[in-house]
């Protein structure tokens, strides 16, 4: 979905409902060509990623990790890794978990930081919403305001 918002154009992809297949490691793309899979990633998302200034990853935490659907998108970056790396995209991570333990985001955070480093993305910040399992739980935390404040700071 593409929409105008204030001074920005936002393109939104619901990777949980999209047809995005995992990378099959065939190396047909050679890290810089078309992917053999003709799904929503190759036909819609890849072009939008090229055009955008910022990628915002928004996700729930599943068993202390990234959801498979979003991980599949990142794995498919392989088909244009070199090009994407030279673009130095800005990124933000917005994530929430039911759990509120100290370690709930350790794997999520480590992976995000590593992807930013490897892809030469510029990390503009993250919101780690612990204890946000339901809307009523979330309202009782400091987290509802945090994405707004992060957005204003960018």
Mean of the per-residue pLDDT values for the chain? 92
Predicted confidence (pLDDT) per residue in 131-143, tens digit: 998 888 888 888 8
SS3 107: helix
Residue ranges covered by each domain of the chain: 59-154
% residues pLDDT > 70 (the chain): 96
Which pLDDT band, with edges at 50, 70 and 90, does 55 fall under? Answer: very high
* Per-residue pLDDT at 154: 87
Determine the Cα–Cα distance for residues 51 and 100; give it in Å rounded to an integer.
Answer: 36
Domain spanning 59-154: CATH superfamily: Flavodoxin domain (3.40.50.360)
Torsion of CA 34, 52, 71, 14, to 10 degrees: -100
Would you say residue 5 has pLDDT above 90?
Answer: no
pTM of the model: 0.90
* Per-residue pLDDT at 3: 60
């Amino acid at each position: 979905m593409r929409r105008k918002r204030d001074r920005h154009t936002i393109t939104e992809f619901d990777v949980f409902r999209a047809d995005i297949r995992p990378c099959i490691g065939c190396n047909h793309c050679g890290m810089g060509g078309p992917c053999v899979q003709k799904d929503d990633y190759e036909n819609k998302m890849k072009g939008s990623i090229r055009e955008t200034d910022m990628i915002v990853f928004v996700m729930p935490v599943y068993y202390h990790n990234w959801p498979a659907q979003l991980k599949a998108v990142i794995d498919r970056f392989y088909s244009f890794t070199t090009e994407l790396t030279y673009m130095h995209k800005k990124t933000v991570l917005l994530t929430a978990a039911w759990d509120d333990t100290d370690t709930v985001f350790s794997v999520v955070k480590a992976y995000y930081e590593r992807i930013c480093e490897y892809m030469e993305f510029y990390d503009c910040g993250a919101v780690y919403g612990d204890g946000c399992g339901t809307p009523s739980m979330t309202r009782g935390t400091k987290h509802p305001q945090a994405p707004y404040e992060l957005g204003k700071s960018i």
